[in-house]
Structure 1
Amino acid sequence: MPTSLRLSPAAEAFLAENHLCTFTTIRPDGSPHVTPVRFTWDAEAGLARVMTAVTRRKARNLLAAPGSRVSLCQTVGGHWLTLEGTGTVSEDPLRIQEGVRQYAKRYWSPPPEPPGLVVIEVRVDRALGLL
């Protein structure tokens, strides 16, 4: 389902750059879990995607509270952009395949393929930043 969120050309260009970002989920005890990740942005679908293993803390946090709020923040120097939305872990082979395709396109190589590879899809509904 496409999103009604539209980013500025400057924001789209910034998200196309090859940088790490932070990914924040909420642990079952309510505390934040922040980890560096690579991600992809699909403007047409309104989805940010993070490839990971189902056993990783970020995936386990979302599996414990499906559809909870998450954020991705890319920062370079004094420029930053945070994408916020609801996160979902998918084990669907077609969704994983699309996540791998998008990742390889952005980072020029496929992601690691640990046992239990899943894709976290973030339906982005808010963007904040300073570009």
Structure 2
Amino acid sequence: TLDPAAGQAALKTLAALGRPITVTADGPAPVAQRLLAAIINISCALAEHGIGSPVDIDGGARLGLGYPRGPLEWGDRLGPDLIVRILDRLLSYTGDPRYRASGWLRARTELGMPLREQGTRPADITHAHAGMTG
């Protein structure tokens, strides 16, 4: 909640900078939490689908996007359980599927596994098994 007069004063000050301004409604998470949780979740989905390893995903975000930390490192620092709670509350509040926690994120949270650890995907086991000879 915000005092309307304080909000109007802030908008006037920000408008003077000539930058676009977006005003959002109150909700279960501030904008920074929404963005960070979504970025971490997308990074988890990349790892889940084998698009990159956790190390590669974090390295790519740092080098390619200039992030000070990789998204999976942020997720580990904040705690995967907190990220899942933020996403679950946003999904419940908005109904927007972009806030649905990836299966990889949820499973690691439930198992107490860090996000930056490689882990094993089912495809890693089945591909290895298919190449084995009896």
Structure with bigger gyration radius: 2
TM-score of the superposition, structure 2-length normalised?
Answer: 0.31
Name the structure with the higher strand share: 1
